[in-house]
């Protein structure tokens, strides 16, 4: 899903503000672990998410949103690097006469 200049369209997760806060507090790695493993987490907030398939699905969508944002960030950095390189190469060929 490439948009303008190759940027991805960020697929926004429709999760509750409470769940989004929990997901962001614990981070991508913890949420991936909860989704992928069969061991229940220790934190009480996460224990409530673990058996609830709707909230697990919300975590999956949130991870997709985060991945899209990260891909756009990487693409922005690469675009800036190429722009600087082009500026240096094209700008370096000019000579200034006194």
pLDDT for the residue numbered 98? 61
Q: Is the pLDDT of residue 7 over 70?
A: no
- Contact assessment for residue 31 and residue 59, using Cβ atoms and an 8 Å cutoff: yes
Query: What pLDDT does 67 receive?
Result: 87
- The answer to whether 48 touches 22, Cβ cutoff 8 Å, is no
Computed over every residue of the chain, the mean pLDDT equals: 82
Specify the pLDDT at position 18. 92
The answer to whether 49 and 55 have CB atoms below 8 angstroms apart is yes
- The token pair at 12 is 């926004």
Question: Does position 61 have pLDDT exceeding 70, yes or no?
Answer: yes
pLDDT at 6: 66
Q: Are 60 and 54 in contact (CB under 8 A)?
A: no
What whole-number distance in Å separates Cα of residue 23 and Cα of residue 42? 15
| Residues paired with residue 2 on neighbouring β-strands, in sequence order | 8
What is the tens place of the pLDDT at every residue in 19-55?
989 999 999 889 988 888 877 788 888 888 888 889 9
At residue 3 the predicted structure's pLDDT band, cuts being 50, 70 and 90, is: low
66 or 7, greater pLDDT:
66
């Amino acid at each position: 899903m490439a948009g303008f200049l190759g940027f991805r369209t960020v697929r926004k997760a429709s999760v509750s503000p409470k769940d989004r806060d929990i997901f962001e507090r614990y981070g991508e790695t913890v949420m991936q672990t909860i989704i992928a493993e069969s061991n229940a987490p220790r934190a009480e907030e996460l224990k409530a998410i673990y058996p609830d398939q709707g909230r697990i699905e919300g975590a999956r969508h949130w991870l997709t949103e985060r991945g899209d944002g990260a891909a756009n960030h990487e693409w922005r950095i690469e675009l800036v690097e190429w722009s600087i390189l082009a500026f240096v190469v094209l700008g370096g060929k000019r000579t200034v006469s006194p």
